[in-house]
Structure 1
Amino acid sequence: AVVIKNNNNSGPCLPVCSGGECITVNRDRVDFKTAEEACRNQTGVLLTLQSQNHQRIFEVLTKQAFGNFWIGLRLPSGSCSDLSVPLRGYEWTSGDPNGTYVPSKWTAEAELCSPRCVSLSYQRWEERFCSDHLDGFLCRSEQKFACRGEDRTFKSSAGCRSGPCEQQCTDVGGGFKCSCVRGYRTDLLDPRRCRQFCGEGSCPALCEGERCSCPDGFVLSGRTCEDVDECEMGQCSGGCVNSFGSFMCFCPEGFRLHNEVRCVPVRPAGSSTTPAAEPVSKNGTLKVSTVPKGVFLWIWVVVAVTLVASVVLIRFYVVKRQYRFTKLSDYQQNTKF
């Protein structure tokens, strides 16, 4: 069975595992090279479909992962794609370069010669510039390392003597490794630190006297931590996948994920119009004006003309009043004599 595993790390990473092997969905907008490095930091590789198990996980994941995600398939430098072969001349970045997996659907039917990399895009395979920043990337790893990277070795001449790890430290040649005690797991963003961890739907809380705590994504019930199903709570405006202690949102084609939970329409190519924003209303919602820009221009013209006319009238009134005052003064002077 393919199952969604838990993710108690703060990074946007969700493991999908079966038989000790995992594919992780990572929601970082990066280019192909950066995605490769990020997978290595998780003690894995950018997704290559080398085993039947990974292929089975991938088939399940393909139906859930809406968006554009890098996979480990790249066109060799100086080569052109070939539509007559299953992988079109692309090669896996690890394992057997050619492999045996046959993609179900490609998004385009054209031969390309410039450097390209492949993404999983809404259940299809798409050839893209490797410098593009997509919605995320897919990594392949063992279950014990999925989204964790806890086997990372840090180089240091002082080793554990400097107290670099939050909980446990092990000296290795030229450096050290950090690990965590039971009930904790290494932090994805900082492997020197530990985060509270529960790999099931419920776990015993960590208590000191009467004070108990739970990992992120769990609620305290007595002295037990219970998983929160964020999908049932409507956290995502589109598709949602729940896991123990975490969740991940997905959007249908034509939409993109905004702030990790809301699906917003993708602006059509070539569109350059930008709606004007009004002040925030009392309920905190940002309103967007639909009035054409030309109307605002005419309003400004009318305001400017009105302002100029007002200045002229005021000036005329002042001059006229001054003239009358002068005439009155002359009359008074003449009547004295």
Structure 2
Amino acid sequence: MRAKQFFQQTSVLAAGTRDHLNARLCSNMKDATGLFVAVLAVLVGRLDGLDPDGGLCVESRCFAVFHNSCDFLSAQIHCKERNGLLMTVSPSASRDVLPKLLMNFSGRFWIGLHRVTACPNATSRLEGYEWMTKDTGSDFENWAPSFDSDCTSPRCVTVSDVDKLQWVQEPCDSRVTGFLCEYHFESSCSTKDMVFQGGTPVYSTPLGFGGDDLLSVPPGSIVTLEPTKRKFVCYETWLQAPWSCEILEGGCEHKCTVDDAYEPSCSCPPGFSINPDNEISCDVDAEDACARLGCEYACLDGDDGAPSCACDHGFKLAADGRSCMDINDCSDERQCPGENFRCVNTVGGFKCECEVGFKMTSGLCVDQNECASAPCEHMCHNNPGSYKCSCYDGYIVDPLDTSKCELHCGKEECIAECDPNDKYQCYCPDGYIAEERVDHTVCIDVDECASSYCDDGCKNTYGGYVCSCRKGFTLVNEVFCERNEDEDEEGEGSGESTTTMNPTVTPHEVAPTQQPSAVTVGGLVAIIVCCVLFVVLVVFLCQHILSKRGKMESEAAYKDPDGGEAHSLHGMGSDA
């Protein structure tokens, strides 16, 4: 009852009688603060995470639009997490709210209408669908002409500006453009009251949306009047800042404190003073000597009475005498004493940690046995603070990964590594080729130089080869030789022979199966076949041309000089 009386008394603020109200609230503040803090803490702090892209309130109902692609179930969960429901579209909401919510958005948005039965029911209200509020009694329907009454029809509903806000059936697992939520409150605050306060109001709601054109707002909403920066919070009516210090620091710009009478007030850091127009913001105090210094952290009076800047523990003043910089506490060798400890500098302090390879045990840094986690492919040897991998005979450490091992021969011929269950499945190091003997398989070094891998000089090594270049050339990519530019100018026309091998060479290993760039057997066969076909085609064309020419000559022989045809049979004259 006292809480209600307390909030009713705050309506006097609308008439601008703040000073008179403060005197009357003192006796009731202690009784009402508990309820005030509890309710506003829930209203202001309950919404987090996904913010809406717009919204509006009508009396004690608020609606928000979320432009986030999701299915129906995810949209339902998002609304529920914010103590809301997917939107129920009543005739009034459909006529007034929906057009304003979706005015700047395109696409399809989920609403709180879905079908819980297997098939649509034409004899029931809403065709067998129901709202998330379990309300099936509404006679209002706004189905799109494409409504499907089949049992396999979609069970959820969307609306969009393209469909003129009609209800369109949509599969519940579809990811549409977004969704619409609605929230219900027992009370709200009208924004018309702010007209009497002066200034331009800017509203922010605990639902995540705001603006300067809202007609009403839910409890926990805050309005700031520009340009005075006066603030008010909504709780059944408008309360001017500073309100309870436990809610958003009482609306104060810097810090909120309470006196013995439990009356909140705002305070400012050194060099600043409370703005008398709004009693919450901080202005630079021109008469305060600290204000001219502009200290980053704090301003203190010196022994001579002159103010100076100071920094927090773990920081020191920078050269400008105002800003603060971190002190490297680890520069003191006495920090973090003890064996295998190290000092790690942090902002404003330091911390002690164990060296790499050690772990904290009973306040001591004890060596950690890295080999227990089997980091090596073959053998592991633990060392203080580290470990080392080694390989079995016939293997060496992989230069690209020291935890792994690769086959190694190191001579012209060695025994191959074979599968104990299949003696024909054998492996050789790179640069070697397997050769089967009577009772075993050996690995024989491949002479890569015989395959002309190098541009110039080549020296075969066990498992690889080494390329080299003549004087005046440089080895590139371990294989190619490129002429030096300076040698081109100096040696041009000299006629000197450059056959000296470059002593600086790089070994290059190649797998035994790797072949130099050349024509393959299949390619060679294809070339031969193409050549044969080409020759046959040429012969056929020649024969065809010669045959046609002979025929033309034969036809010409049968014709007389006058162009008439010559016949081999002559008419026989009569004896008469």
Normalised to the residue count of structure 2, the TM-score between the two structures is 0.24
* Bigger relative contact order, structure 1 or 2 (CA pairs below 8 A, ≥6 apart): 1
With structure 1 as the length reference, what TM-score do the two structures score?
0.39
